[in-house]
Structure 1
């Protein structure tokens, strides 16, 4: 039921934009998605399961954007994407920073045993990434995308360090927005690749 699953996640995201997570009702999410409440429970198991799947979806979308930004703009692009994505999406901001407000679902970051036969839900029930996990994931994706095959070990280590610095700089700009020139300028000044 991939279409129903995506409709439910989109309905939950829309509901979250209108009211705090505590006020989001499963029956309303199901109705907006055009499915029964039983379908919602079959798909996610509980409101916590829905929250975890929603956070996972937004984290995956952020990382897909990182991949696009690497192709289009390198580390500057990744830094800009990180700041813009966190500004636009409160779930991405919370996942990147670990700062969950009362308005948002605060799913536990540890794994939840899954009895679901739905592979996507079993994945959502696994551990959710924390801020440090995002730093590592974005750094590693950047190294793969920007690295030169056969580069000397010292060059590869320098690239990994530069990529991590760029990611951490972007995350600092999520918490304290940059001034004139934005985060891309800061990354260019710090990382001279």
Structure 2
């Protein structure tokens, strides 16, 4: 199957999830929405559980791609971290799967795939990856932190400075998540980050 068709099926599954609880989403409806046969859907994902894992994996990847974009949007370190915080809060507010992955709070409306890997017999590389481990909230925070450190620590960065940067990155993500639960006032999450961090974290 072409990657575009797989994306169409995942888009259809996400749309269906927006309309009804995952338990009420039917594979036949997802296939029809994407314009493929139900057999094609099963060939690609194996089962409804496989589809759920692939959907969660895609949304996690999309969130992390947004983190990368935020990190490249500014030159100054504090503004990069403010952009990461804004993206994290916005993504968690807009996307229930991203919110669940970041917080660990999975509502009954959502699929709840196990985070540990499952046996995979799929011939589809993307599905084998989805059948692997899915990120826990701790994993996602660490992935964002590591990406931020990699983007901002130069070749001459000392171990101490890199550790300070890692601490600042983790603080920023956790601050952003708190803003999902309790939205900040004027200035939003970016202003909170700016006030919490020194002007030039290394």
**Structure 2 length-normalised TM:** 0.93
| Partner of residue 36, structure 1 | 37
Q: CA deviation at 1:151?
A: 1.4
Shift of 1:149: 1.6
Aligned mates of 1:10, 1:81 — CA distance in 2: 21
Q: Which residue of 2 aligns with 1:116?
A: 122
CA distance in 2, matches of 1:187, 1:25: 42
**What residue ranges of structure 1 are gaps of 5+ in the alignment?**
none
Is 2:41 the counterpart of 1:51?
A: no
SS, match of residue 129 in structure 1: coil
* 1:94 equivalent in structure 2: 100
Partner of 2:133: 127
- CA shift, 1:161, in A, is 1.1
SS at match of 2:72: helix
The answer as to 2:77 corresponding to 1:76 is: no
State how many pairs are aligned. Answer: 193
RMSD value, Cα: 0.9
Q: 1:109 and 1:176 mapped to 2: Cα distance?
A: 27
- TM-score, with length taken from structure 1: 0.97
Unaligned regions of 5+ residues in structure 2, if any? 75-79
Kindly provide the CA deviation profile for residues 74-98 of structure 1, in whole angstroms up to 9, marking residues without a partner as x.
0000000000001111111011111
